[in-house]
Amino acid sequence: MDIRQLRYFTTIVEEGQITRAAKKLHMAQPPLSQQLKALEEELSTLLIVRNGKNIELTAAGKVLYKRATNLLSQIDETIMEVKEVGEGLKGTLSIGSVKTCFSYLPERIRFFREKYSNVTFRLYEGDTYRLLQDLRNRHIEVAIVRLPLEAESDDLSSLPLPPDHFVAVIPETWNYENTLRLDELSSMPLMLLQRFKGVGQYELVIEACRKYHYEPNIVCQCSDAAMIMSLVREGVGASLLPRSVLHSFSMNGLKILELEELSIQSDSAVIWLKDRYLSKGAIKFIETFESEYNLNISQVE
Amino acid sequence: MDIRQLRYFTTIVEEGQITRAAKKLHMAQPPLSQQLKALEEELSTLLIVRNGKNIELTAAGKVLYKRATNLLSQIDETIMEVKEVGEGLKGTLSIGSVKTCFSYLPERIRFFREKYSNVTFRLYEGDTYRLLQDLRNRHIEVAIVRLPLEAESDDLSSLPLPPDHFVAVIPETWNYENTLRLDELSSMPLMLLQRFKGVGQYELVIEACRKYHYEPNIVCQCSDAAMIMSLVREGVGASLLPRSVLHSFSMNGLKILELEELSIQSDSAVIWLKDRYLSKGAIKFIETFESEYNLNISQVE
DNA sequence: TGTAACGTATATAAAATAAATATGCTTTCT
DNA sequence: AGAAAGCATATTTATTTTATATACGTTACA
C-alpha cells in the first residue's frame, strides 16, 4: 500500500468517477485504473464496484475511505509539523517590543539560544500601534507590549508578564531618601513616557494620582526613556518609570525611590496573532514566558 | 513522502545505524542512505545527525519518529481491517425478513456468529414489497420472503428454504383431535394472513380448497400473526399458518391440528439482487442456508 | 435497434524511480 | 598511524509508474 494509492483512491471516491479523478490528479485515466486495481489486489478485496456510469463503494471500500481520509490528513499534518520544527528551531524569530518592555527580552533570548542555538533573532522596536501593524503584516510573529491594548484586538492572543511596578527616578542631588509620598510627588515637575495610541502610562499615572486627589505636575512627555533619564539627570524633574526599564540605563546621577501609598503598576504581555500560523520557534519562545510565570494563555478582550 | 520511507526512517532510528537498518530491511546500505536523504530533502530539514559511529535525532527527527510509528501502525491496522471486511470476517450484515419467516433467522445468526464473531447484524422486518424495495435500494443485502414473488423479479436470485407445511390452529375448546379433514376445515370460520402485494397464502389456501371443491369460509384477513393467534384463542375461528410461525408464540389456549388430504405448503426463500455486488459476509451467510438444504442457487422466474 | 458518447480496461512503449554494485571519504578505536 | 566500521557518491541495473493508443462495455437518445 502506498500513500499515493490512498490519495488516488479517495479522489476516485470523492469524484465518483475514475476519469474525473484522473483529471483532478493531473494524470491519464489508465494508470489510475491500474493503481486502483493494484490496491484492490493487494488488499485482496473489491473496493469499488464499477457499474457503468457511476461507481459504488463496497463495505471494504467504505472502511478504507474512512481510514484513508483520516490517514492522509494525519500525513499532511506530519509533514507540516516536521517542516515547522525543522525550520522553527533553526530559522529566524522576529520579535517586536515597545521600548519600555525591551528589558524582558535579553534574558529570554539568551535562555532560548542555549536550547536552540540555531535560532537567530530579529528584534524590532516600536510603539504599540506600529507593533500591532507588524504583527498583522506577519512582519513579526510575537510582540511585547504594555496593556491595555486598543479596542479592536480580538484577533490577538496574549500571555501576561510579571507586572512591573513604577518607581520614581529623581536627580541624585534631590533630598529624598528611599520612599516618596504622594504629596511630595505631586509637587515635583514630572516627565512621563508618552504613548502614540491607546492608553499609555501617562494616563495611568494621572489617574492613579487623581484617585488620591492630587494633580501631578507634568512638564514633559517624551517618547524615549533615555531622553527622560538624561533630563532627570540634569535635574529638570523627576519621572515615573517601570522598574524594569531602568535595568538598561546607567544610574549615574540618579536616585530611585519607591512610591508610598500609591502603587502604580503596569501590565505587560506577550501578544501574537490568534488562530494564525505560528512557527514552532515562536511557540517555544512564548512558552519560555509561560512556564516561568503564567500557565494559561489568556485572551485579550 | 512515502510509507516506505517512513518505514526506512523508523528502522534506522530503532537500529541506531543505517547499515544495520539496511540489513534488517534486506537491502543494501546506499539506497537506504539515499532514501533518508530524499526524505530529508522533501521535508527540507535534517532528521538524523550522522556523527561517525552512532546517529542522533534532530528535534524534527524526533517529531517525525513519533508520528511515523503512529502512522505506520495505523496503516497496518487499516490494511488488516479492510482485508477482514473484504473477506466478510468483519462488518455489518443487513438482512430483511417478512414476519412469518423470522423464525428462520435466529438459529442461522447464532451459527454464523460462532464462526465469524466480528460480524454484526442489522435486521429489518417488513412485508415482501417493502423488502424488495430495500434490496434494490441496497438498504439490505439479503431478504427472506415467502414465495411466489411478484412478476418483475428477474433481477433477483433466490435460494429455497425448507418448505413449511400449514397446520390448522384452533381454540383449545373445540372438539377436534390431531387431524382435520377438509370438510371440517371448510365449515370453520377462517382467519388468514394477508399479503399486500403478490400472491399470498390467502390465495394459496383458497386455491387448495377449491381443488377439492370446497369453499373456505374466510372471515378475517390479518397482517399480523400475533393478532390471528389471539383471535383464535378467543374462539373467533381457526387459522391456517405455516408451522414455523408458531415457534415464536405461546400455545396457551390453542390446539394444533395437521391437515388431512390437503397439504398446503408455503415455500420461503432467501433472495438477493442478482448480478450485483454482494458482500463476502452476505455470500457466506447465504451459504449457511445452502449447505444445509439445497446446493444449487436457483433463479426466480 | 442502431449509433454516438462516455467510462473503463488492456497492451505496449517511455519515463521515472528505486535498488545494487563498486568505490571513496570520514570517524573511531587500537 | 593504521585498520575497521559507517556513511556518501557515482554508475549501472531493475522495477515501477506513467502515457499513448486502442478495445470493450454501458448508457442515452434518436
Give pLDDT tens digits for B117-172.
888 888 888 888 888 888 888 889 999 988 777 656 677 888 888 877 888 999 98
Residue finishing a domain among A83, A108, A135: A83
- Is residue A192 domain-shared with residue A209, that is, in the same domain? yes
- Is residue B282 domain-shared with residue B199, that is, in the same domain? no
- Is residue A226 domain-shared with residue A183, that is, in the same domain? yes
- Is residue B121 domain-shared with residue B38, that is, in the same domain? no
Residue finishing a domain among B83, B108, B137: B83
Measured CA to CA, the distance from residue B143 to residue B134 in angstroms comes to 9
Pick from B45, B68, B78: which is nearest to A86 by CB?
B45
- Is residue A61 domain-shared with residue A128, that is, in the same domain? no
Any idea what the CATH number is for the domain that residue A138 is in? 3.40.190.10
DSSP B146-170: ESSP-S--TTEEEEEPPPEEEEEEE
- Domains identified in chain B, total number: 3
- Is residue B71 domain-shared with residue B93, that is, in the same domain? no
Cross-chain Cβ contact B82/A43 below 8 Å: yes
* Confidence label for A295 from pLDDT (cuts 50, 70 and 90): very low
Average confidence score pLDDT of chain B: 83
- Is residue B158 domain-shared with residue B169, that is, in the same domain? no
- Is residue A287 domain-shared with residue A158, that is, in the same domain? yes
- Is residue A212 domain-shared with residue A193, that is, in the same domain? yes
pLDDT digits (tens, 9 = 90+) for A200-227: 667 777 777 888 888 888 777 776 778 8
Q: What is the pLDDT of residue B57?
A: 84
- Is residue A145 domain-shared with residue A211, that is, in the same domain? no
pTM for the model: 0.64
Does residue B295 have a pLDDT over 50? Answer: no
Q: What is the pLDDT of residue A6?
A: 92
Does residue A275 have a pLDDT over 90? Answer: no
Q: What is the pLDDT of residue A277?
A: 57
- Is residue A56 domain-shared with residue A110, that is, in the same domain? no
Q: CA at B52, C1' at D8: how many angstroms apart?
A: 12
More confident residue, B298 or A46: A46
A112 contact partners, CB below 8 Å, separation of at least 6 = A119, A284, A285, A288
Taking the C1' atom of D4, which residue's CA lies nearest?
B53
Residue finishing a domain among A48, A65, A83: A83
- Is residue B204 domain-shared with residue B285, that is, in the same domain? no
Any idea what the CATH number is for the domain that residue A29 is in? 1.10.10.10
Q: CA at B46, C1' at C29: how many angstroms apart?
A: 28
- Show the domain range for B132: 88-162+268-299
Range list of H helices, chain A: 3-15, 18-24, 29-42, 59-88, 105-115, 128-136, 182-187, 201-211, 225-233, 243-246, 280-293
Q: Are A164 and A204 in contact (CB under 8 A)?
A: no
Tell me the shortest Cα–Cα distance from B263 to chain A, in angstroms.
Answer: 43
CB-contacts to strand D (7 A): A 2, 4, 26-31, 34-35, 38, 51-53; B 17-20, 29-30, 33-34, 36-37, 50, 52-53, 55
Taking the C1' atom of C6, which residue's CA lies nearest?
A53
A-side interface with B, Cβ within 8 Å? 1-4, 43-47, 49, 51, 56, 58-60, 63-64, 67-68, 70-71, 74-75, 77-79, 81-83, 85-87, 89
